[in-house]
Amino acid sequence: MDEKKYYLDYEDFQAEHPEIDPEWREFVEPVVLGADDGLYNFIVGYLLM
Amino acid sequence: MSIDEKLKIRDDLLAGRVPKRVFMQLTFTLEAACGLAGLDLKRAHFDEELRKKAMRSICETFYTDTYPIENIRFPAVYQALRAKNWVMSSTGAMQHPEIESFTPDDYEAYIKNPYATIMESILPKIFAGFDTDRAHASVNLAKAYSLLLQTFGQEGAFEAQVSQEFEYVTGFFVGALCEAPFDFLADQLRGFKGITMDVRRIPDLVEKAAEATLPLMLKLALPRKVNPGHIVFIPLHLAPFMRLPDFERLYWPTFEKLVSGISKAGGASFLFAEVDWTRYIDYLAKLPENTIIKFEDGDAKKIKTAIGGRHIIGGFFDPTITLTHSKEECIDEVKRLLEIGMPGGRFYFAFNRHVIDINSVDVKKLQAVCEYVKENAYY
């Protein structure tokens, strides 16, 4: 399992990937599942409840 | 009563002040609404106009201060993912079968990284739509999420429309939804049977897994910015089935941290104490002041005495007694509950469970119960 694939907060992702310009956040965030609150709430708060 | 007066009642209740009248938050499901309106539930799930017609019939039949329908289990979403955890019955009711998506061997990986374990291991076991190549899994996720947003949008628009028409005020379902960490682990990951064995055989791992789940639940409960009036709904499941030492070690610590964390962030918790929590009342007393707790069963008098001066309580009234008791006896039961709950405020009127099947109640007697509270539960 790739432990670095999923981040609960975008800030954690950014801290580990300073090379990614914050201006790209809107493109990166949706694929960092969990950092996107809507998808996180859907997966953990709807599908698994 | 004007909408401003109802809002004042709600504000007073939530602030711990004695309101003008007992606040009423009564809830029916889409299943009950279709039963009342004589509509086909299976068709209504997929037909917005039928759902509106059904839900409107509840609004027209029963008085309550808040929007009275709960409909959150959308079959299209679960079917798009070929879900095993929520499936439709032959009548169209959405049911949650016992499932196990997580074995005792999975604890260590989950404790180390719960979210990655959910994404990589748990989701594909529950949803066949995720148990495929990444491209198809992504498309299935997009379809399901899109269906969720679309259906919630339809439900929200209808709620806004009838809330204006029937002068409903906001109830307590206004913020977020999460679970006690132990319940999250038990409900759909280990299942009732699995967690019951784990509690006895591998309590150390269960304890660590509950701790690992806490941040996931806090993230669900709290948005980045917590606005005033943020209320988090937390239905409580497994505790009544546990022994006290197991509850004290495995259930309570992370649950208390969750509720305290919500409170420290400026939110409030709305708990649904399912089954009977009377034996845990001293624990509930320790939660932050003005926690809202709806009780399914239990000793109302003992509970009011123990926590009625600290928390906001409701529930207890079983609407199915309308089938077996006369109208007068039903109203006597309401009077008994009001006499127990009203002194000092911090009490609201709610059914102990949502009305799921309209055939489980006598509509006319239940109408009389609602009217009685509306007309008589004044301070």
Cα-based distances in Å from A4 to A7, A30, A43, B115, B118: 7, 15, 18, 11, 14
* Model pTM score: 0.94
Nearest chain B residue to A4, by CA: B116
Cβ <8 Å between B116 and A6? yes
Nearest chain A residue to B232, by CA: A45
Residue A2: inside a domain: no
CA dist B43 and B91 (Å) reads: 10
Residue A5: inside a domain: no
Quote the pLDDT of residue B260.
98
Q: Chain B within 8 Å of A11 (Cβ-Cβ)?
A: no
Q: Chain A within 8 Å of B138 (Cβ-Cβ)?
A: no
Side-chain-side CA neighbours of residue B32 (13 Å): 25
| Residue in B117, B123, B177 nearest the CB of A49 | B177
**Phi and psi for B213 in degrees, rounded to 5?**
-80, -25
Cβ <8 Å between A45 and B215? no
Residue A37: inside a domain: yes
Residue A33: inside a domain: yes
| Other residues' Cβ atoms within 10 Å of the Cβ of residue A30 | 12
Q: What is the mean pLDDT of chain B?
A: 96
Nearest chain B residue to A10, by CA: B224
Structurally, chain A folds into a number of domains equal to 1
* Domain positions in chain B: 26-82+142-166
The pLDDT > 70 percentage for chain B reads 100
ipTM, two decimals, is 0.93
Side-chain-side CA neighbours of residue B217 (13 Å): 29
The pLDDT > 90 percentage for chain B reads 97
Q: Is the model's pLDDT at B359 over the cut of 60?
A: yes
Residues spanned by the domain of A39: 10-47
Residue A20: inside a domain: yes
Average pLDDT of the segment spanning B249-264: 98
Cβ <8 Å between B119 and A33? yes
Residue A4: inside a domain: no
| Residue in A3, A33, A46 nearest the CB of B113 | A3
Cβ <8 Å between A48 and B120? no
